[in-house]
Amino acid sequence: MADAESRYARARHEKGTAVSDTPTSPGEEDADGSIEPNPTAEHPTTPAPAPAPAPEPLLEPEPEPEPASAKPRRKKGPIIAIVLLAVGLAAVAGVLTFALVQLDKAFVLIEEQQRELDEQRDLIDQKETFSQSATELMSTAAQFDGLPFSTMVNPNTLETLIQSGWTHRWNSAALERASTNVDEETARLAALIAEAEEQKASNGTGTHFEKVTDRLGQGFISTSLTDTDEICEQDVWGCVGGDDPYTIHYDHAETRAEPFMNNTIREGVAYHEYAHVLQFTNPAQTEKALTAFDGDWETMADCFALTYLDGWKLDHTIWVSSYEYWEVSVGYGYTCNSEQRKVIREWRESLGYQHEPISQ
Ligand SMILES: [Zn+2]
């Protein structure tokens, strides 16, 4: 612009020189050749300072302006459209984000509800499983009803197991463990039944002792032929140990080698030993009955044989030939009276497991 202004100042000066011959020129030239400003001239007479002021728009007319609305209008349309599009996209993005958040919350809620449903379904399944297990346990235990071995099936154990289902009714894992415990007891009882059936159907020792023992014990009592002097720690024909009350040990050597031994004596011995099984497996009832025998387990066992084995006696005369016989005493030398035999009967009838239903 500075160059443009300078060119304009020089143009005025050259124009003034050209009109010096013409008095109607805008200004008179002085003697020194300078040009006086003409008050009538279009422009002020005061000497124009150099540089000149900003160019007047009249001398170099600017290009005719475009219609004010033409160009901006062409630009505003797309801009507004872009802005609207951006706003729209932002709104859509916001709505989508909101929708996604809501959807995510919905998924979380659904998953939580599904988990709760699964837990409830699992709990229901566990309850059904426990109910089936409990039913099976009780039906298995019912097969022991009347069996004279109280320690074989414990009603308190059954009740505790059955009640555990109610105790853990809101805890699936605990309920599952309770079912497992019930199943284990069922399996134990079922195994005893299976073994008893097998034992009752066979005679592993091939002896009269086992035949009698299997009948008395219904297969639940094992017969063992052994050296009773060692097992029983005394010179006897048989014994039962408290650590394994379901096994009767018979002396293998004496009960076979003695010339006077016969099946009648063997049967009496088996009854005596079986009484010991009942004593060990029914401690509470036995303790009460023992008072009738001054606490003597052996005379009580003899009395059991005398009460339940028809024709049994403790003293026997055993003829081994037409001229030779043996006087054989079996037991502990005391034949119980009728009162004691009554005690024995009442004792025997009170023994064992009496099956009763247990509510779940
Ligand atoms: Zn004995």
Residue 9 scores a pLDDT above 50: no
Give the distance (Å) from ligand 1 centre to CA of residue 143: 29
pLDDT in tens, 92-146: 888 888 989 898 898 999 999 999 999 999 989 999 999 999 999 999 999 999 9
The CA R_g of the chain, rounded to the nearest whole Å, is 62
Which pLDDT does position 95 carry in this prediction?
Answer: 86
| Tokens coding 169 | 């009714």
Looking at the chain, list the stretches that DSSP marks H as alpha helix, in order from N- to C-terminal side: 2-18, 70-142, 155-167, 172-200, 208-217, 228-231, 254-257, 263-281, 283-289, 297-308, 338-349
| Tokens coding 280 | 């060990």
Residue 72 scores a pLDDT above 60: no
Residue 23 scores a pLDDT above 50: no
| Tokens coding 331 | 């037991």
Contact by Cβ (8 Å): 148, 278:
yes
Band (303; pLDDT cuts 50, 70, 90): very high
pLDDT in tens, 140-169: 999 999 999 988 999 999 999 999 999 998
Give the distance (Å) from ligand 1 centre to CA of residue 211: 19
Contact by Cβ (8 Å): 272, 250:
no
Give the distance (Å) from ligand 1 centre to CA of residue 201: 27
If we measure between CA atoms, which residue out of 184, 134, 151, 115 comes closest to residue 278? Answer: 151
Percent of the chain with pLDDT over 70: 79
3-class DSSP state of 351:
coil
Q: Residues 308-336: what's their mean pLDDT?
A: 95
Band (41; pLDDT cuts 50, 70, 90): very low
Give the distance (Å) from ligand 1 centre to CA of residue 257: 20
Give the distance (Å) from ligand 1 centre to CA of residue 256: 19
Q: Which of 147-156, 228-237, 327-336 has the lowest mean pLDDT?
A: 228-237
Give the distance (Å) from ligand 1 centre to CA of residue 291: 17
Other C-beta atoms closer than 10 Å to the C-beta of 352 total 21
Ligand 1 ion: Cβ-proximal residues, 5 Å cutoff:
298, 301
Q: Which residue has 């003034």 as its token pair?
A: 16
Give the distance (Å) from ligand 1 centre to CA of residue 307: 15
Contact by Cβ (8 Å): 184, 200:
no
Give the distance (Å) from ligand 1 centre to CA of residue 272: 6
Give the distance (Å) from ligand 1 centre to CA of residue 236: 8
Q: Which residues contact 277 (CB under 8 A, 6 or more apart)?
A: 149, 217, 221, 240, 245, 246, 248
Give the distance (Å) from ligand 1 centre to CA of residue 226: 16
Which pLDDT does position 232 carry in this prediction?
Answer: 83
Residue 17 scores a pLDDT above 60: no
Q: Which residue has 């134990």 as its token pair?
A: 188
Alpha carbons 80 and 64: distance in angstroms, whole number? 28
Which pLDDT does position 184 carry in this prediction?
Answer: 97
Percent of the chain with pLDDT over 90: 59
Give the distance (Å) from ligand 1 centre to CA of residue 334: 13
